[in-house]
Structure 1
Amino acid sequence: MKYGIAIFPTKKLQDLANSFRKRYDAHYALIPPHVTLKTAFEIDENDMKSVTDELAAIAKDTTPIPLNIYKVSSFAPVNNVIYLKVDPTDELLSLHEKLHSGKGYFQDNREFSYVPHITIGQNLSDDEHSDVLGQLKMTNIEHEEVVDRFHLLYQLEDGMWTVYETFRFGKDC
Structure 2
Amino acid sequence: MKYGIVIFPSKPVQDEINSYRKRYDPHYAMIPPHLTLKEAFEVDDAKITELITELKHIANETEPFDLAVNKVSTFAPVTNTIYLKVEPIQQLYDLAEKMQSGKFPANQMYSYVPHITIAQKLSQDEYSDVYGSLSMKDTRLEDQIDRFHLVYQLDNGIWTVYESFVFGKEYV
RMSD (Å), alpha carbons = 1.1
Cα offset, 1:66, TM superposition: 1.8
* Contact kept? 1:81, 1:123, Cα under 8 Å: yes
- Counterpart in the other structure of 1:123: 121
Distance 1:109 1:124 in 2: 25
Cα offset, 1:108, TM superposition: 2.4
Which residue identity does 2:38 align to in structure 1? K
* Contact kept? 1:59, 1:169, Cα under 8 Å: yes
- Counterpart in the other structure of 1:169: 167
Number of matched pairs: 171
- Counterpart in the other structure of 1:72: 72
Distance 1:122 1:158 in 2: 20
Cα offset, 1:171, TM superposition: 4.2
* Contact kept? 1:66, 1:89, Cα under 8 Å: no
**What is the aligned-residue identity percentage?**
58
Which residue identity does 1:128 align to in structure 2? E
Which 4+ residue blocks in structure 1 deviate beyond 6 angstroms?
Answer: none
Q: Given the two structures, how large is their TM-score scaled by the length of structure 1?
A: 0.95
- Counterpart in the other structure of 1:51: 51
Cα offset, 1:112, TM superposition: 0.5
Work out whether 1:142 is the aligned partner of 2:140: yes
Distance 1:48 1:112 in 2: 24
| Runs (5+) with no aligned partner, structure 2 | none
Cα offset, 1:46, TM superposition: 1.7
* Contact kept? 2:17, 2:33, Cα under 8 Å: yes
SS of the aligned residue for 2:58 comes to: helix
Q: 1:83-138, CA deviations, whole angstroms, 9 ceiling, x for partnerless residues?
A: 100011011111111111223xx142110011111100001000110110000011
